[in-house]
Amino acid sequence: MGEQYSNLASVYDALNVGCDYDKLAMLIDATIKKYEKTKTSLVLDLACGTGKLTFLLRLLGYDMTGVDSSEAMLSLARDYAENHDISDVLFLCQDMRSFELYGTVDACVSTLDSINYLTKLKDVESCFKLVHNYLIPDGVFIFDVNTPYRFNEVYGTRDYVLENESALLAWQNDYNKKTKLCKFYLSIFEENKNGTYSRFDEVQTEKCYERKQIEALLKKCGFELLCVYGDTNMKAPEDTDEKWYFVSRCKK
């Protein structure tokens, strides 16, 4: 999975302007405080990417561990930590289907549709089982997935262009309604110091899951579903939501 972000890593944060990390961090903080049975300290950010959310949760007082399979993304996270004199966040380069921690955590979060990058149901099950294994009893697991509405109506076979002052991303989608797989064909143009541009091409794949599939897997892996949000404002899900935010509790 990590190779999917090898070229995109350097421009990921700059072009990912659609994500309000501050609002996402506040959602996670409020949800943890609402459902925690004991004080939450240790939090795992699974598929943490460049660590933007990880660092925000640290500022909110959590002891953070970030796991991601992309060494390129983690390199940026570690550079940020070093440049900002942050030494208390642990980053591990591991696959979310087979990660290992040094001990248990009080809560786990996985955002920005990382679960959708697990393109087989058995891989999602492997991930959920590991999260269950490393969570304390009654620990909270919060994650989001892209909804079928997003795959059908936003991705589909549509093309997009994202750009800022120094980079451009041409993004072509190819969603197969039969396999539920969506291919993202990405061409990244990044400006060099001399004014020329370098081009990198990358292909990513996501899987569309139905809500009932996710809920059934959570139950199978030992979680109690607490609620599902339709956005970061904690509203009830609607048919036109592009993301679902699942909140569950680890039962042991």
230 Cβ contact list (under 8 Å, min separation 6): 236, 237, 238, 241, 243, 244, 245
Cα(160)–Cα(16) distance, integer angstroms: 13
Cα(104)–Cα(44) distance, integer angstroms: 9
Please state whether beta strands 159-163 and 167-176 pair in parallel, antiparallel, or not at all (unpaired): antiparallel
DSSP at 61: T
What average pLDDT does the structure give for the chain? 93
List, for residues 183-233, the tens digit of each pLDDT value: 999 998 888 889 888 898 989 999 999 999 999 999 999 999 999 999 999
Cα(202)–Cα(5) distance, integer angstroms: 8
Averaged pLDDT for residues 27-34: 98
- Using alpha carbons, select from 75, 45, 46 the residue that is nearest to residue 58: 45
Question: Is the Cβ–Cβ distance between 139 and 249 less than 8 Å?
Answer: yes
Structure tokens belonging to residue 130: 């590991």
Higher pLDDT among residues 17 and 83, named by residue:
83
Same fold, 2-146+210-250 and 150-207: no
CATH topology of domain 150-207: N-terminal domain of TfIIb (2.20.25)
Cα(201)–Cα(164) distance, integer angstroms: 18
Instruction: Please provide residue 120's backbone torsions phi and psi, each rounded to the nearest 5 degrees.
Output: -130, 140
Structure tokens belonging to residue 151: 């795959």
Q: What is the pLDDT of residue 8?
A: 67
Check whether 2 has a pLDDT greater than 50: no
List, for residues 139-183, the tens digit of each pLDDT value: 999 999 999 999 999 999 999 988 887 788 888 999 999 999 999
Cα(243)–Cα(156) distance, integer angstroms: 16
What is the maximum alpha-carbon separation in the chain? 58
Sequence ranges of the domains in the chain: 2-146+210-250, 150-207
What is 2-146+210-250's CATH superfamily? Vaccinia Virus protein VP39 (3.40.50.150)
List, for residues 89-142, the tens digit of each pLDDT value: 999 999 999 999 999 999 999 999 999 999 999 999 999 999 999 999 999 999
Q: Which amino acid is at 250?
A: C
Instruction: Please provide residue 170's backbone torsions phi and psi, each rounded to the nearest 5 degrees.
Output: -95, 125
Question: Is the Cβ–Cβ distance between 141 and 135 less than 8 Å?
Answer: yes
Instruction: Please provide residue 239's backbone torsions phi and psi, each rounded to the nearest 5 degrees.
Output: -65, -25
From residue 194, give the alpha-carbon distance in Å to each of 14, 119, 188, 200: 20, 40, 17, 18
Cα(66)–Cα(78) distance, integer angstroms: 10
Q: What is the pLDDT of residue 213?
A: 97
The length of the chain in residues reads 252
CB atoms within 10 A of CB 90: 15
Question: Is the Cβ–Cβ distance between 225 and 45 less than 8 Å?
Answer: no
